[in-house]
Amino acid sequence: MSRLTSWTRDGLVFDVRDDGPEDGTPIVLLHGFPERGTSWRHVAPLLHAQGLRTYAPDQRGYSEGARPAGRAAYAVPELVADVVALIEEIGGPVHLVGHDWGSMVGWATAARHPELVRSWTAVSVPHPRAFTNAMRTSRQGLHSWYMGLFQVPLVMETLAKWAGGPVDQALRASGMTAEEVARFRTEIVDSGALPGALGWYRALPLSGGKGMGGRVAVPTTLVWSTRDTAIVRAGVDATEEYVDGDYRLVVLEGVSHWIPTHAPEELAAAILERVAGT
């Protein structure tokens, strides 16, 4: 099979990084906010070494050719349909991995399309229903304060233009390195991807929970880290209640929210263990 550089859906063109052995078992890596497919740059080579072929897409709003206008275009069912189209282009089923918002999309994909997902590894973000419940019953709501800010048009877009300003400072406080913040400025702000990336948050009120809270039957691993400033433990511990398939929780001590770049070896080991057990 030739290398895949892009795929299309509904007139949108999405970019994807296809690396590793050409005859390798396919694994799709979904990035989160505010990163692109390059966030897997340290994890992917470790997977290639074990015979996996990785597909790391730039998702809706991030790919230059896939930045539709309007909040509704970024609702969760649309994000899931994009991933389904990629898997069908690959020839699925695939092993699926997602970090941050990529995890939210991955949970919904695994729940709604188990025939396309051989195994599922969620990174940082628990099952959507566990997360939603934690918003009401724990300090998760306090840690998710920024979601409300993101709903206000143009505020984040304006603040992000200020190099070294509050957005950069917030990313540094969350654990990002100076190099990673610089990459954010280049890949997200300077490239024009920020409005579309924020569209994922702004479409949440329109999603109405559709496709987000289903039970997951595929073999599943959740990888969470103790220094995650965005996700508290309550939703993590409750996730097992919503998984009917084989389930494992991996807790990384002393690691920030940015697991793919800060603990690539540990994450790759968790992914490979899940893949091998499928």
**Residue 20 falls in which region: left (phi positive, over 0), alpha (psi -120 to 50) or beta:** left
**pLDDT at 208 (0 to 100):** 63
pTM over 0.85: yes
The β-bridge partners of 28 are: 55, 96
User: 98 φ, ψ to 5°?
Assistant: -145, 140
- Amino acid sitting at position 34: P
Going by pLDDT thresholds of 50, 70 and 90, the confidence category of residue 2 is confident
**Strand-strand pairing, 52-57 and 220-227:** unpaired
E-only strand ranges, the chain? 6-9, 12-19, 25-30, 52-57, 94-99, 117-123, 220-227, 247-256
- pLDDT tens for residues 130-145? 999 999 999 998 999 8
Dihedral angle, C-alpha 171, 176, 182, 188, nearest 10 °: -60
The SS3 assignment for 132 reads helix
Angstrom CA distances, 56 to 37, 198, 241, 276, stand at 5, 20, 29, 20
Instruction: Give the CA radius of gyration of the chain.
Output: 17
Q: pLDDT tens for residues 211-266?
A: 577 999 999 999 999 999 999 999 999 999 999 999 999 999 999 999 999 999 99
Q: Is the pLDDT of residue 149 over 90?
A: no
Closest by Cα among 123, 32, 116 to 79: 32
Using 50, 70 and 90 to split pLDDT, how confident is the model at 196? very high
Please give the full DSSP string across 189-204, using - where no structure is assigned.
ITTT-HHHHHHHHHTH
Which pLDDT does position 210 carry in this prediction?
A: 55
More confident site: 212 or 159: 159
Q: How far apart are CA 169 and CA 181, in angstroms?
A: 9
pLDDT in tens, 15-27: 999 999 999 999 9
**In this model, does residue 100 exceed pLDDT 60?**
yes
Q: Which stretches within 65-120 are classed as H helix?
A: 76-90, 101-112
d(CA 88, CA 109): 13
Structure tokens at 99: 């970090």
pLDDT bucket at 209, cuts 50 / 70 / 90: low
pLDDT of residue 272 exceeding 70, the answer is yes
Q: How far, CA to CA in Å, does 250 sit from each of 25, 174, 225, 232? A: 23, 20, 8, 15
Strand partners, 15: 6
The pLDDT assigned to 1 comes to 63
